[in-house]
Amino acid sequence: MSLNEHKQRLKRLREAMAKARTSAFWVSHAPNVFYLSGFTGDSGGLLVEPSRATLLTDSRFTTQAHEELAGARIGVKIVKGPLAAAATAELLGRRFRGSVAFESARVTVADSARLRKGASGRIRWRGAEGWVEALRRVKDAEEIAEMRQAARLASEVLTEVIALLKPGLRECDVTAEIEFRMRRRGATGPSFETIVASGPRGALPHARATTKPLGRNELVVIDMGAILRHYCSDLTRTVFLGRAPARIRRWYRAVKEAHEAACQVLRPDARAEEPDLAAREVLRGYGLEAAFIHSTGHGLGLEVHEEPRLGRGQKSPLGPSSVVTIEPGVYLEGLGGIRVEDDVLVLPSGPQLLTDAPREFLEL
C-alpha cells in the first residue's frame, strides 16, 4: 500500500476517535496494525494519538519496522516485555491524561490488566470494538486490485485441480495439490485450511481433508482460498464423480439459483441480510431451506472473515466497494453437500464477481 493510503486511513481513524472523545487508541490486532501502518511483523502494536502515531515492537523487528515504515511519519519504539504494558508505562503513563481506547475484542484478560497497571490512575481505559474494522469494510482501489489478483489465482488453481479429480485420489492429496499450486503462483499460503470433502463428509460445511479416497458416484466439495500480498480469496465448487442422479442435479440447480439471487441484490445500500433472505427464498421453493445451515456470506479482505456478515438480522448497509462472499449451500446427512461460493465486489453499478471458476454442474 502507498504511504498516502496509510495516511488517509489514520486520518479517518482519528476522526472516529474525536467523535468518540478519546485521546488515543491502542491498536493490537495484527491485521489492523498492518492496515494503518504497513508493518507486517507478527509482534507489534500501534498507539494512535491526535497528532502522532507510534509503532511498538521488539528487537527482532528493528530493521523490518524501520524499513516498512520509512517515510510514513510513524515513530518506531523498540521495547522489552509485553507490548501492552510497555505502551502504557513508557508512552502514556508519564505524559498523558485522558481517555484511551483499546481493541477490547482483541485483548486478553492478562493484557487488559497490564494496560490498567502500566498507566496507574492517570488514564481512563475504555473498550472499543470495530473502529478499524469499519474502515476496512470499504476497499480502496489498491486493495481491490490485490483482491482481484488473489481471486484470479484461486480460480485458476481450482479449475486446474478439478480437471485432475478421479476416484481413488485421497482428499488430503487433493488438498496438497491445491496448496502447492497456489504457492507456486506466489501465494504466501491458504486463506484457511483447505477443505476437500467427498461423499457423506460433504455434509460437514467445515470438514477437514482426510485420507479418504474419492469415490465413484460421489459429490466432492472443494473450498479453498489464497493469501496474495496480504489479501484473501475464498472459493467453493462442487462436482460429481460419475453421472449424477436427477435429484442431485436438481439440488445443484437450486443452490446455483440461490447464489444468483443473492448476487442480484448486492448493492451498496442493501442491508447485509438481503442476500441471505434472497438465497433462502429460492431454497424454500425447492423444499431445501432446512438444509441450508449457515449464513450466505461474509466480508473478505486482510482476513478471510471480516465484516459484514451476510445473515438474518444484519441491518447495516453493505456500503460501496465492499468485498463479500456469496456461498449458499445444502447439506444432507448421509449423502453429502453442495456449495457454490464466489467473491463479489459491491459497486453502485452492480456486483462484480472476482472469482471466475466454472459454475456449471460438472460430472467427471
The DSSP call for residue 300 is -
Sequence-separated (6 or more) residues with CB below 8 Å from residue 246: none
The CATH T-level fold of domain 141-363 is: Creatine Amidinohydrolase (3.90.230)
> Pairing mode, if any, of strands 231-232 and 226-228?
antiparallel
Domain limits, the chain? 3-135, 141-363
Joined grid coordinates for residue 250: 436438481
Task: Express each pLDDT in 324-363 by its tens digit.
Answer: 999 999 999 999 999 999 999 999 999 999 999 999 999 9
User: What torsion, rounded to 10 degrees, do the Cα atoms 204, 207, 212, 214 define?
Assistant: 70
pLDDT of res. 153: 98
> Pairing mode, if any, of strands 75-78 and 53-57?
parallel
Rounded to 10°, the helix 30-37/3-19 angle is: 120
The span from the CA of 138 to the CA of 271, in Å, is: 15
Task: Determine if the peptide bond prior to 308 is cis (ω within 30°).
Answer: yes
pLDDT of res. 120: 67
Among residues 141, 138, 155, 182, which one has the least CA distance to residue 354? Answer: 155
Instruction: Answer whether 37's CB lies under 8 Å from 72's CB.
Output: yes
pLDDT of res. 102: 92
Task: Express each pLDDT in 280-326 by its tens digit.
Answer: 999 999 999 999 999 999 999 999 999 999 999 999 999 999 999 99
Give the count of alpha carbons within 13 A of 139, CB side only: 28
pLDDT of res. 230: 97
Sequence-separated (6 or more) residues with CB below 8 Å from residue 143: 1, 231, 301
The CATH T-level fold of domain 3-135 is: Creatine Amidinohydrolase; Chain A, domain 1 (3.40.350)
pLDDT of res. 149: 98
pTM for this entry: 0.94
pLDDT of res. 197: 98
Mean pLDDT in each 10-residue stretch from start to end of the chain (364 residues)? 80 95 93 96 93 93 95 90 74 76 90 77 86 96 97 98 98 98 98 98 97 98 98 98 98 98 98 98 98 98 97 96 98 97 97 97 97
Rounded to 10°, the helix 171-184/141-162 angle is: 140
